[in-house]
Structure 1
Amino acid sequence: MKAFKYILILALISILFACSKDDANNNQQDLQQFNSQICNGISGPEAMYWDGSHGLPTSLAQIPTLTNPGQQFIHSQYPALGFTMPQGYVAQEITDLQSGTIGVNVFRNDNNVVWRYIPSSPFIGQVQINDIVAFEINQIMQFHGFNGSPQVICTTTQQSNEFGFPTTFGARLIRFGNFTALLTVQTHFMPSLGNTFISVTLASGPTTEFNNLVMGTYLPLHWQLLVISDDVRDSDLDGTPDNQDAAPFNPNIQ
């Protein structure tokens, strides 16, 4: 259980998107003019999403919240994994009691948009990150009915030690058919247990919608998983943070 909590904390840290601030006047760039610092040729929200997934400063000026909150999801085995989905979305719980894997798949009703989050999935032995990346990419392309090779727009693989544990981070931004997907994977090998703990975050949707999905769906889902202070949480789930809400506990008043 302690190992699981450690991996869950690392997974949450990995989806925390840094916000850049000008110390003098707190000016924020226009997201549409944002250019990736680590991947040439991408700009706008998808570039901010890519850089943010690497923990780099972005021009995100405020906490992303849903403008159209719908159903709430709470994982049956780990209630801390809970959030509100946009309207028109459904959740599929991922639970494997034998291995200890938990997670969730979120689908838009037309199945053209997917958000997948697995904070912890343990495997016996040391697992290569490229095997996990290939599995996730093949799975999402198959789901969207694409049979071919994707166009890799951005790719990253980084190795480090976190608290003495070998950690590998891998990310891919790909396009295939009419779709774009951003995948991040982390593997944490614990020699004392002989296990590799894997976390996965994947977001896919139509390329023509992807920038809007970043701001309206993916980021609001990510941020709900973070532990945030009372002055920025959305207690009544009406799409307005408490510190901007005239009645933070009344969803009928914003």
Structure 2
Amino acid sequence: MKTINRILLFTLITLLCSCSKDDDNNDQQNLQQFNSQICNGLAGPQAVYWDSAHNLPTGLAQIPTIANPGQQFIHSQYPALGFTMPQGYSAQEITDLQTGTIGVNVFRNDNNVIWRYIPSSPFVGQIQINDVIAFELNQVMAFHGFNATPEVICTSNQQSTEFGFLTTSGARLIRFGNFTALLTVQTHFMPSLGNTFISVTLASGPTADYDNLVMNTYLPLHWQLLVISDDVRDSDLDGTPDNQDPAPFNPNIN
């Protein structure tokens, strides 16, 4: 099933074949100058995040990693859903044994930052993607105490038919109050079963800090869900991938 992690995997692997610590300054400069190819006026890390979610090239020159590793999370029913969070974050497991829904909500300890990931949630019947988008956005705005109309910065919808089932993708980048949220949803309707399988990725946080959250929290969390190789493995959890770390098993040397 295609989910946001596969989109990020394809996009970033093609761009990050060769990385070094000497790229730090160039990477930061490129990110600030990056403009979205599909959302007019969107620039910087938010543009990188939006375009990478749509399988488009970005200005990244390095693999995003957790710079301040904290707690680890492993889903009790699906161990492949596991990752290290930054310090000051905690995870809430999502499990519904009756429907087969699995996922996780990650919260910063001040409850101002959320990263929500649901790789699979089955529903009976054909579910409209706009209904899922509305539910997720209303839920996150309510969590942050906002009950008015948000400002929609970017929006996209795509549809395709593969292997006999209908796949619909939708994304929204919104601002509300002092917060920004990026939501990506995919629905896969299988007529033979009469079921819709839904995947969701949501990242919300203070607008003033959203660029930093993209690079230091959201993208590093996504990357840990992808294929683990020396490009992304961080054995000593010091924030530097093993193939860039002169002492990959010593957290005091990076």
TM over 0.5: yes
| Contact residue 230 and residue 241 of structure 2 kept, 8 A | no
Letter in 1 for 2:157: T
Cα deviation for residue 164 of structure 1 reads 3.0
- Partner Cα distance (1:44, 1:11) in 2: 20
Tell me the amino acid that sits aligned with residue 52 of structure 2.
G
Report how far residue 194 of structure 1 moved: 1.1
Gaps of 5+ in 2: 17-22
Identify the residue that residue 80 of structure 1 maps to in structure 2. 80
With normalisation by structure 2, the TM-score equals 0.91
Q: TM-score, normalised by structure 1?
A: 0.91
5+ residue gaps, structure 1: 1-6
The answer on whether the counterparts of 2:15 and 2:60 sit within 8 Å (CA) in structure 1 is: no
| Separation in structure 2 between the aligned mates of residue 203 and residue 57 of structure 1, nearest angstrom | 20
Q: C-alpha separation between the residues in 1 aligned to 2:94 and 2:192?
A: 27
Displacement of 1:131 after TM fit? 0.3
Task: Give 1:167-246 correspondences, 5 Å limit.
Answer: 167-246=167-246
Structure 1, 170-179 or 232-241: larger mean CA deviation: 232-241
Where 2:136 maps in the other structure, the secondary structure is helix
Deviations along 1:38-94, one digit per CA (max 9) or x if unpaired, are 001110000110010001111111110011000000000000000000000000000
Contact kept, 8 Å, 2:223 with 2:232, in 1: the verdict is no
Q: Indicate the residue corresponding to 1:145 in structure 2.
A: 145
Given that residues 17 and 57 in structure 1 are in contact (C-alpha distance below 8 angstroms), is that contact kept between their aligned partners in structure 2?
no
* Aligned residues of 1:16 and 1:53 also touching (Cα < 8 A): no
The alignment-based identity, stated in percent, is: 79
Quick one: distance in 2 between partners of 1:92 and 1:124?
A: 25
Give the Å deviation of 1:113. Answer: 0.4
Aligned amino acid, residue 188 of structure 2: H
1:4 aligned partner: none
Which letter does structure 1 place at the counterpart of 2:222? H
SS in 2 for 1:48: helix
CA contact (8 A) 2:233 2:242 kept: yes
Letter in 2 for 1:212: N
1:16 — aligned with what?
Answer: 9
Seen in structure 2, the aligned counterparts of structure 1 residues 21 and 237 have a Cα distance that, compared at 3 Å, is closer
TM-superposition CA deviations, 1:120-177 (whole Å, max 9, x none)? 0000011000000000000000000001010000000100123332100000000000
Aligned-residue CA RMSD in angstroms?
2.0
Summarize the alignment of residues 12-51 of structure 1 with structure 2, pairs less than 5 Å apart.
12-16=5-9, 18-19=11-12, 30-51=30-51
* Structure-2 change in CA distance of 1:117 and 1:32 (3 Å): same
